[in-house]
Each structure stands twice: as C-alpha cells, then as structure tokens.
Structure 1
Amino acid sequence: MKKYVILLFVVLLGLAWFSAGSDMVNDPIKAKEHMEKAAELEEKGIYVDAVTEYESALEYEPDSEELYMKMAEAYLKSGDSREFISICEDTAEKYQDNTHAMDSLMDYYTENGDEEEAVKYLKDFLEEYPDNKNAQEWFTQLEGSYTELYCRYETMGEIVNNSMVVSDDGLYGLTDATGSEVIPCEYKELYPFSEEGFALARTEDNRWIYIDEDDQIRKAPDSEYGKLGMYTEDGTAAEKDGKYGYLDENMEPAGKFQWEELTGLKEGTGAGQKDGEWSLVNKKGKAKGEERYEDVITDAFGFCSAQKRIFVKTGDGYQMINTKGEQIGELTFDDARAFTEEGYAAVCKDGKWGFADSDGELVIDYTYENAESFRNGFAPVSSGGKWGYINEEGTMVIQPEFLEATHISEEGTAAVMIEQQGENVWKLLQLNLFQ
C-alpha cells in the first residue's frame, strides 16, 4: 500500500511540474494573443478596449517594458494624457537601461510646447537618479528652452525688484517680471523700483519724484535738484548747481554737495569724482580715505559696491577692492562689470571676458566676446556677435541667438532683442531654467 502512495505522489508531482512548465510555455503565447487583439482594436480606433487587452497581456508578461509603453501610447490615443504620463514616469524609473519611456515622455512634452513641465520632471528625476545619462542629456537639451510671453513695447530694460522699464511712443512705464503693466507709459524718464518699493520718475514738466506701485507720489524732493539717483535707505545721489551729494531718507541733504560725479550707495559706500580722481565715500559724501583712483566701475543704475566689492582703476588696470579700500586678490583686469547682489562679476583681459568671484579669483576663463555679471545664477554672454546665457559652471544653457540680452530675473524671465522682418524687436521670454 505504501508503495502505491509513493507512486501516486510521484505522479502528481510530475503532473504539477508538467503543468507549470506548460504554463511557462503558454504565457508568452497568451500575452502575444492579447497584444495582437490590442493591435486590431487600435487599428479600428477602439483604444479603451485596446488598453484592457494590454493589461491582460501584462498578467502573463509583467516585466515587459514594451507592453507598458504600448499601453501608455494606447491611453494617449484615447485622450487620457494623464495616464500616459503616469505610466511613462513609472516605466522610466523601473527600466532605466531602456530609454523608450523617458524619450516618449520628453517628446510628448516638447511636441505640446510644455518644456517647463519636462524640465521640472527631469530635475526631480535626477535628484533621485543622478547618474541616469539619458535624463542628463534631456535636461541639458531642454533646460535652455523658453517660451515667449505677450509683452509689446518699443523697448524693454533690466528686470530689477520685479519691475522692468518699458517704453511706448517715447514715454516710459513699468511692468512686472511677466510683462503685466504696473505703471503706464506716461513719464519722460523712469527707473525700476528700489528694494524699498520706490521708482524714480521724471514728469513731463521735468520734475523728479519717487512713486510707488500704485503710481502715487511717495517722495518729492525740492525742485532745486537737477538730477537724482535711485532711492536707497542709505542715501540717494542728487545734483544741485552742478555739484553732487547725498540726500537722506527724508530727502534732506546728508552732507556737502562737492562732487563732480557721484555713484549710488550700497553697503554704506559709494564713490565720488573730483578733479578727475575718484574716492570711496560714506553716506554723508565724505571721502573714506586718502586713496585716489582713475576710474570706478558702476552698473546700469549708477551703483558700484554690491557685495562690498568695487572695481577701481589704477595705472596697472582695474583691481577689485572692498568697501574699506583693501585690494581683494592679486589679479588685474583690462575692464570689468560691477557685481550684482550675488554671483560672479564679468572681467576682461586681452579682449576676452571671463568671471571672477568675490575673493578676486578667476572662476570662468576668458572666453567670451562680451559679458555681463551673474544674477540669479546665470549671466548673459556674447559669442559670434550674438548673446546667450551661461550657468555658474560655465555651461552655455541658452545658445547665443539674441542681438541683446538682459539679466534673468528671479522669476526666470528676461528681455531680449531679436531681428524680426528686418527690424530689431524686444521680446520677453520665460526661461525654463527656473522651473
């Protein structure tokens, strides 16, 4: 009896092995049958049922990247882009050696003009999988993409403190960083908002005033001042009877008006010129020391001392100093751009431009025909007669294609000039670098 039991057990075990082997053989066959049925349904435009067939096929081949992607594409054809994206994302993470899912997802985003979302996804993906080569290549390709924002003005300027000076019919106004009007074009001259929220404006009767975002006058210096600088709490440069000095926050003289030229104040320091020589000055407009310089580099708005660093010229060229007049680093430059509030400064040697840090060290070699200092992690540079943008690693993230290019704002927008139908036209771009 025991022999028969053992024999029966062996037979049953053999049948189980046979059945399992048979299923293993039949799994690909069954999967293929569902795939063929799905293909037939797709040809007829019945995409919802095709998805069901792909799901059935996956029950037999659950590790098939090909099946996941066929199902994703069927979802997309059915109009369900959300499910398409979800499957592509999951598949790209699961099968990182296969580029199909990532490529399909990136193609979908670019074909639909949604590069911003593509860059956002890639950043998140690379945080989790930093060594994925395909994602790195897509990121390099797409991070420099941009879309044009609707903004139509004759000219556009730097975006500073979320404000950009624009002009129309010879008068000036302000927009925010996205091109939405804040101040209509009604002033003869206008500057961006200061950190304190005041914009310097010159009215049609040549009166200088400071306005807020509601176009209300907030500070109105006496008419005896012929010219004013951008407002800061440290002090505001002003001209009276051909001499310059500083006004305090109440628009009252902070000291003597004795300079032939005077920069704005940042970090409690400015620079004044008298008899062809420049000196560092304090908030009252007094010289801070005995040192004299041939020239001082200022930015587009008349400031020279952001990051407590100043470029001054002596007989040997331009050197970097701090607000105490102490030399920073040992390098000498043929030319330079003033520092912004953060980032590297553009410096020139032998006709080529590179970048130096606040320690006076060259961090990006002399490579470019022209350059502006870094702001918000990127810098405009010129190569081949056109302007583009680099990041702090010196990588060209937006290829040179513009006639002019301003700094990139905190919101990732920038004003550029292009040639369009034989005319030079200003455009406002939203760059994907910041998404």
Structure 2
Amino acid sequence: MKCKYCGTKNERNATYCSQCGKKLEVVKKSKSKIIIISTITVIAIIIAAIFINKQLDTKQINDLLVQGDRYIEEKDYKKAEDTYLEIIEIDDKIVEPYLKLADVYTYQNDYDKAKEILEQGEEKVSDEDKDKLNDRHDEIDHYIDFSWVVEPDIDADDIYYLRSSSVENYLNTTKKQMLKNYAVIKKDDRYGLIDDDGNVLDDIDCIEVLANFNDIYIVETDDNYYDNNFNNSNFFEVDRSVTPIPFYEYLPSLSEIYYYNDELIPINNYGLDSGLTIESDLPYPVQQVNDLPEGDISAWQLEQDGKYAIFVNDKQLTDFIYEDAGSFCDGLIAVKKDGKWGYLNAEGKEVIPIEYDASWNQFEVYPRETINNFSDFAYSASEGFVTLLKDDKWQLNDTDGNIVIPAGIFDKILPVYNGKCWVEQDGKWGIIKVGEETNQEQERSSQDLSLDEICQLVINHYVKTTNSNDYVIFENECVKENNTYQLVVRYTGGNTANVMYSTVTVDLETGQVEDSVGDSWYLFE
C-alpha cells in the first residue's frame, strides 16, 4: 500500500507508514465500476445463451430438413409436410421449408396449395429469398393438370417407342421416335406391342420388335432366326399381314447426308449417291467425316465419330459442336454436347438447356450388328411437349421450355401421342391424358403441326370411321403447295399391299380435310 504523504510503498496490511509514521488510508473500489463489470458479465452470458440456442435451432432445422427429404424419397408426403411445417414453427424466415412444401404439394398434383405456401413464405423471408419463391410460383403457373386414361396397374420391365423408319429423302430425318398408337412392351426379356388404350396385341412373346422403312411394326417370334446377313430372318408384319417375309426386303438403298471437305455428301448402301438432290425446309443433323467410304459401307459408317451440325437445305445453322443430334420434330431438334442433351429451335437457338440425360435407351442404330441393336438417345418433341430426364428424375416440358409436369411425380414419362402419354409410377405403368379434359390440340393451329402429326390425324380419322388400323401415309408421297398438303392414303389390310385408298387435301389455314372418296372433316374434330 502506498503512503499518500511520502510516497513510500508499505506492506498491504500495514496501518501506519514505515517511513513517515502517518496513518495509511485504504482506497475503496468504485461501486460504478463494479456495476459495469457485472453488467458486462450478464450481457456476455445472455449472448452466449442466444448463440448456443441458435446453434441448437440450426442443428434441429438441418436435421428436420434431412428427415423431410427422406420422407419425400419414401413418398410419405404427410410426414414430409408435417416435418417442414415444424421447421417453419421454429423459424418462419428461412426459405427452404416453403420450397420443400411446394414440392410436396406438386408431387400430389395440388398446384393451388403449392402456390399458397409460397405466397405465405413471401411475407416472411428476406427480399433475396423472396425472389426464389416468386420464381417457383411462376414455374408452377405453367404446370398442367392430367387425368388417368389407364390406371397404373400394368406390369412391365419397360415400355418404349421405336425409332421412326419413315424416310422422305434420307436417313437423317429418321432420328426420332415413331408416331404410332403402339408402343413396345418388355417383360421377362420378351417383347410385344401395347396400344394407347393399354391393350396388348396378342402375347408378349417376341424376341424383338422393330419397324420397317414405312413405319410398320414387324415382330420376330423365332428364337433361331438371327444370322449376320439377315438373309434367313423371317419377320411377321403386324400392320399389314401375318405372312413371314425376309427382312432384307425392307432394306432399300437409302442415303444419309454427311459433311466432307466443305460439302454435303449423300452416301447410300453402295457408295456416293450423286443423283440425290439435297433439299429440306426443316432442320436436319449432319455428321462431319474425315474420309469417304471405300469398300464396306457399313464398316465405314460404324467407324465415324465426327461431330454434328444442323442444316436447313444446304445452309449451315450451327457449328460442328455436337456429339449427336436427332431429327427435327414439332419445332425442336435434340442435340448432345459434353454427354448431355438439350433442344434447339428451327433457327438453331437453344430452347431447352443442354443439361439433361438420355431419355431413350432403345434408339436403334444403323447399320444393325446385333438383335436389339440400341444406343442411348433423346426422344423428340411431340404435340407441343418433350420428355426430359435429369439425375434419374423425369419431367415433361412444353416446347417453349416451361416445365408442365415437374420431376418427382412419375418414375418415367414417355412422349405425348394423341394427347396421352405412358408413365411409370411406383413400378407400375399407366397412361395419362395431359391438359384439360377438352382436347388440347384444339387450341393449336393446323399450321403449328408437323407433317408427321398431320398424317397421323388423317389416319386416325380413317381408323375411327372404318374400324380398321390398316392405313399408312408415306412421307415421300406428301406434297406441300402453298397452304395445303396433298396426301396419299394407302390401305395395307388387303391381299395386295399398299393399295391406294384415297387422296387427301389438308387446308393448313382452316384445318379442313377433303378426300377423293367424298368425305370432309376437320383435323381436330
């Protein structure tokens, strides 16, 4: 203790200064300092408690999010809903549970409830997170209603569409699915045909189903049919007769267009096809090659690994940057880049981002080397829709790129045909009708339809009015003049194949159809 008189330092407990002898005074601590220190201590304790509670809340929220996601995977939507609502009770200002609840409601086809929860969240979350909710709300505005045509109770290992084999001028136009009312059904390594009402044609008892070059189904039921040349292969032609026919009769010499030395080069089974005039008002894919075939054409084709570009007539729309490309259909053309698929429009502009997986595992490869000679590909657009696959989740978009059936509702979605599409749900297959109960095609103009769609609508008319499926229209017999199409309808069910049944005129402005038999109707009736 220091003496205030002489400044001498004394022992702490001394009463008098050892130097001057005067009494030492004890200095008392300030009460204000004690109060300040105490206050600081209390505040620190409160802050620590808040921090610890916040950490506990964050951990609880994260655990609940994981739990809710697990319930979604298990399709236990009631428990998922309760879990995300519990998170909102803990903290109603975080965005994730509102987005997750929107998923839960859309998976149950309750789009109104999904939009309601997003609107509730917009009143609570930050401005930055509010944009996420607004974007999701806008996305749901494009979702469409669907109804079951065939309930999902069909057992099958897979259902898929065949590659089109209807050729107008060259094979570049066949890289799309076949537009017919049958799909292929696979069960226990056997194959059959199933129509768009869920009816199986005969039995699922074939070792292969394929199509000839007029888009007619052919099935093979003989286990010992295959040889390398196909010369001993007998196939039963489903749409025309049940008479066995040698397969090689269905391999006409058709050309495919390649790009070599800055030129478009048509090549057929025999070599260069110098007599073919290259013209197409629709985009088509062309592969770039480094040499021309000498000898075995099939072997040369299998060796080609060049990139693809998109052409219209002889005009190049894109660079040679695509690993593969489909054929133009319903306003879009599929392209593959860096292992992913997307879709371009007629001008070569990207409409659907190139970020999706192959949606079609049964794309038949030419030339054929083995039975069921398939590769991975992407289904083409049809009737205003395109089916997409990403990370094992299937969704349906419209051809403007908007999601109309979100991922998570179905385990698989096939392309739309006649306003319906095959879907898989919980391991069973069924058929849904997309859009409103009224036919969605009625809202489309005849001028929006592809030639394939026009031909199919005409065939559908004859199927309904004659109660026969034995009609076909060949693309190379279709002539467009101004705003009309002239079509030739052939009957395939008689003793003589492909007898001309009627000629048809389609007015693209009005949708009116007139045929040489004297019948008149509208495409969408």
User: What TM-score, normalized by structure 2, do the two folds share?
Assistant: 0.37
* Greater C-alpha radius of gyration: 2
Structure number with the bigger relative contact order (C-alpha 8 A, sep ≥ 6) is 2
User: What TM-score, normalized by structure 1, do the two folds share?
Assistant: 0.44
